[in-house]
């Protein structure tokens, strides 16, 4: 039987605190921290996490020890007075590949909106579903949302939601992503917009494949 895999992570909050920890489902844990911090009137600025690995339980102890060594104070798994570069260095000390999440703004292209507005197939319900999906963009431009949630939130029948999503996929406004349980995740087509950093990174489709690459230097001085 394969060992359970998980990640170690550090999350940087707007009040200067840093949280170190571990999780078998970092995406879910990250969303929980975002919701919790918002209820306290603060926000998540950035997060860094390791590749999934089997030794994440023991590596968490190493991570917390490294963060404690460079912090001014510690309250459980929360640290204050730790510079971002030192927090990342502590995570890097585990010797694993590191990824990051930044809470970037949503950027859209004006021409794409005129094309959507002129499309006779984009009637009221597909428009509503499209806008709701845009509100649920997650990191890496993934969209994780159940059709039942969309139906409940928009007051639509589930078959109508399903037809709207099929239309959006056919129009290539959204692109099919990995399957999660019985449903697929989606990606926003970057020809229409993206959640990213307009000051330095631009998301573009990699040829005709439904995968993405990030290009540094998207904005020139």
CATH code at 111? Answer: 1.10.10.10
Query: In which domain, by residue range, is 16 found?
Result: 7-102
Please check whether residues 82 and 19 belong to one and the same domain: yes
In a domain, 43, yes or no: yes
Q: Comparing 59-63, 73-77, 158-162, 206-210, which segment has the lowest mean pLDDT? A: 206-210
Please check whether residues 112 and 71 belong to one and the same domain: no
Q: Which residue has better confidence, 207 or 118?
A: 118
pTM: 0.50
Count of H-run helices and E-run strands, the chain? 7, 13
Please check whether residues 56 and 86 belong to one and the same domain: yes
In a domain, 18, yes or no: yes
Residue 194 phi, psi (nearest 5): -160, 155
Please identify which residue in the block is written with the tokens 């990995």: 178
Q: Residue 195: CA atoms inside 13 Å, Cβ hemisphere, count?
A: 17
In a domain, 38, yes or no: yes
Last residue of a domain, one of 55, 79, 102: 102
Residue 182 banded pLDDT, cuts 50, 70, 90: low
Q: What is the tally of structural domains in the chain? A: 2
131-166: string of b/e by CB count within 10 Å (b at 16+)?
A: ebbbeebebbbbbbbebeebbeebebeeebbeebbe
């Amino acid at each position: 039987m394969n060992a359970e895999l998980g990640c170690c992570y550090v999350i940087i909050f707007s009040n200067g605190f840093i949280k170190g920890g571990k999780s078998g489902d970092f995406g879910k844990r990250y969303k929980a921290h975002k919701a919790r911090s918002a209820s306290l009137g603060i926000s998540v600025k950035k997060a860094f996490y390791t590749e999934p690995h089997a030794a994440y339980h023991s590596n968490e102890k190493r991570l917390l020890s490294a963060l404690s060594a460079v912090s001014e104070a510690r309250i459980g798994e929360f640290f204050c007075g730790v510079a971002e570069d030192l927090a990342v260095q502590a995570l890097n000390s585990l010797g694993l590949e590191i990824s990051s999440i930044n809470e970037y703004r949503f950027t859209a292209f004006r021409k794409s909106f005129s094309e959507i507005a002129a499309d006779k197939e984009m009637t009221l319900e597909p428009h509503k579903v499209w806008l709701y999906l845009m509100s649920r963009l997650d990191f890496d431009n993934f969209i994780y949302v159940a059709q039942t949630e969309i139906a409940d939130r928009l007051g639509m029948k589930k078959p109508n939601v399903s037809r709207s999503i099929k239309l959006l996929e056919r129009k290539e406004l959204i692109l099919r992503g990995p399957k999660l349980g019985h449903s697929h995740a989606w990606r926003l087509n970057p020809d229409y917009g993206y959640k990213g950093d307009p000051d330095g990174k631009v998301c573009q489709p990699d040829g005709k494949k439904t995968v993405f690459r990030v290009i540094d230097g998207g904005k020139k001085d």
